[in-house]
Amino acid sequence: MALLERVSTLVRANLNDLIDKAEEPEKMIKQVILDMNNQLLQVKTQVAIAIADQHLLEKKKIENDDKIKEWMRKAELAVDKKQDDLARAALLRVESYRDMSANLKIRKRRWRISSPRCAISIRNWPKPMPRPIC
């Protein structure tokens, strides 16, 4: 048993020695800098996507509000023409668009709460480090 322990210790020591010889601090630091710059780029990309999503939410909300007005007008026309079944159908559409509008409003509010925190923290980040010269 002692022999196996000694061989195991010898193998581990040799492996650690090989790893120490293979590691070059300069190359490791360059790789860390490259990895950090890549992560920064990924975060900026995600923030840009989030901002685009926010603009899309605003656009959908405007379109949805226009649909509500349009279907209310259709419901009023149906009532004027004494077509109660069409008026009910139009009012059902209005309700569905109002539900969607409420959902969009909630999503927009959540985005407004979280986005300033992200923007502030990103502004405080350091600029990307210069690419190392090899």
Mean pLDDT, rounded, of the chain? 83
Owner of token pair 């279907």: 71
What pLDDT does 123 receive? 65
Whether the predicted pLDDT of 10 surpasses 70: yes
CB neighbour class for 75 (10 Å; exposed up to 12, middle 13-18, buried from 19): buried
CB neighbour class for 83 (10 Å; exposed up to 12, middle 13-18, buried from 19): middle
Q: Cα separation of 105 and 99, whole Å?
A: 10
Whether the predicted pLDDT of 132 surpasses 60: no
Domain extents in the chain: 52-125
What pLDDT does 117 receive? 66
pTM for the predicted model, two decimal places: 0.57
Residue 26's contacts (CB-CB under 8 Å, 6 or more residues apart) are none
What pLDDT does 22 receive? 73
Question: Confidence class of residue 31 from pLDDT cuts 50, 70 and 90?
Answer: confident
Residue 48's contacts (CB-CB under 8 Å, 6 or more residues apart) are none
Structure tokens at 70: 């349009």
What pLDDT does 18 receive? 77
Other beta carbons less than 10 A from residue 64's beta carbon: 19
What pLDDT does 120 receive? 64
Tell me how far CA of residue 126 lies from CA of 7, 40, 48, 121, 122, in angstroms: 49, 10, 18, 10, 9
71-110 pLDDT, tens per residue?
Answer: 999 999 999 999 989 999 999 999 999 999 999 888 888 8
